[in-house]
Structure 1
Amino acid sequence: MSTMPTPAQVASRAKRILAATEADEEFGAFEAATLEYSSDWQCFTGFPVIERWRLDTDKGPLFTEGLRALALKAAVFDLTGDEQLAEVPIAVPVDEMTHAMIAQPQLFARIAARTGFALIHQTDQEHTDYEAGCFTTLAYRLAWGEPPARYWLVKDEVDRRVKILTARYASIGMDRAGREHDIEFSAA
């Protein structure tokens, strides 16, 4: 097993990955496709944990955060060659944005190939147990400053907010946090 690089090493590499990605000839198309995909963002416990969530105003900043998260993961992988180490903790709303990005596979794969980074994200290995002060936070701070607290929510706060959302959803007949309901559409 590889050794985790220092936050400073990851920050330095992540900044270069992000700059190369944003400079790529297809970056504009990738960004537009990702943000257009927003009409399909239906997760009930991802983005809605953001206080006063508004798709129109939050999707741009979240796109930036998703790129940064993927750059951090790619940097760890680049420095270690280890996919599991590269799955550093990411906040739930930021992770949701990475899913929207990965839903643009052709564009993203071409950008990654041209800029020389590996796209690292596997749902069964991801860590959405982000905590303030963790490795991700340290590397992020060195690369871009303080992670925006609006989007980089710690796990305990996400769990608290999911309980609130789950109760609200249940009050309108959406059970298991929006994962099932008993609505009979033919009777409506």
Structure 2
Amino acid sequence: MSTETPALPAAQNVAARAKEILEGFEADREFAAFVAATLKYDSDWTCFTGTPIVSRYNQDTDKSPLLTEALRALCLKAAVYEMTGDERAAEIPVAVPVDEMTHAMIAQPQLLARIAERIGVQVIHQTDQEHTDWRAGDYTYQAYALAWGVPPERYWIDHEEAQRRLAILNERYEAAGFLNMGLAHVIDFGEPTGA
């Protein structure tokens, strides 16, 4: 058995299939419930290194457009998987904020699984295999552009720019007492108050 990742299918083929997959999702009888559940989960899915790299991010106004972008990304990945049968190949690069929203979508496993089964696709996303090193002009960009036009720069932030913004955030987090990009802090909450 070969461990080599198969060649990626032609971007135009992935784009065409991803559009069909997205149409299937949107037409499904549980799509509205899936969207509502994903967007309601917003207080739990924000992390220090995902959506905060979007300039002047506002969860109330950005979460719906970001959901659109994440769903498109999952459809591209599903199309690549369908054409290659390879989960690693399907983990095409995705921008950091878009990837964060895919986690919120995947946190609705029953709805997502039922919709995917009805439209005959597999949703591919495994954190230890994901790539958030998306760059304008790469394979993901090409397939996305063929399917839906140029990815919106607000959410599809190039890898190098994402790293620059993360460095700025890290400085500000540390100044507020949050260390290691929010994975530790120096805040002492004092003695607990009685109930």
TM-score computed with the length of structure 1 as normaliser: 0.98
Instruction: Return the letter of the residue paired with 2:166.
Output: V
Structure with larger Rg: 2
Write the mapping of 1:7-26 to structure 2, written as runs, cut at 5 A: 7-26=11-30
For the residues of structure 1 that align with 2:188 and 2:6, how far apart are their CA atoms? Answer: 53
For the residues of structure 1 that align with 2:103 and 2:46, how far apart are their CA atoms? Answer: 12
Which runs of 5 or more residues in structure 2 are unaligned? Answer: none
Deviation at 1:179, TM superposition (A): 1.0
Deviation at 1:163, TM superposition (A): 0.4
Q: Which residue of 1 aligns with 2:178?
A: 174
Deviations 1:44-76 (A, max 9, x none): 010000000000000000000000000000000
Native 8 Å contact 2:45 2:103 kept in 1: no
For the residues of structure 1 that align with 2:46 and 2:87, how far apart are their CA atoms? Answer: 28
Write the mapping of 1:145-156 to structure 2, written as runs, cut at 5 A: 145-156=149-160
Post-superposition, which runs of at least 4 consecutive aligned residues in structure 1 deviate over 3 A? Answer: none
How many residue pairs get aligned? The number is: 188
For the residues of structure 2 that align with 1:112 and 1:87, how far apart are their CA atoms? Answer: 17
Correspondence for 1:121 among 119, 122, 125: 125
Q: Which residue of 1 aligns with 2:66?
A: 62
Q: Percent identity?
A: 60
Deviation at 1:114, TM superposition (A): 0.3
Q: Matched residue of 1:185: which SS?
A: coil
Deviation at 1:39, TM superposition (A): 1.1
Correspondence for 1:5 among 6, 9, 13: 9
Correspondence for 1:139 among 120, 138, 143: 143
Deviations 1:123-155 (A, max 9, x none): 000000001100000000000000000000011
Q: Which residue of 1 aligns with 2:88?
A: 84
For the residues of structure 1 that align with 2:9 and 2:19, how far apart are their CA atoms? Answer: 15
Instruction: Return the letter of the residue paired with 1:23.
Output: A
Q: Which residue of 2 aligns with 1:100?
A: 104
Which runs of 5 or more residues in structure 1 are unaligned? Answer: none
For the residues of structure 1 that align with 2:49 and 2:141, how far apart are their CA atoms? Answer: 22
For the residues of structure 2 that align with 1:39 and 1:4, how far apart are their CA atoms? Answer: 36
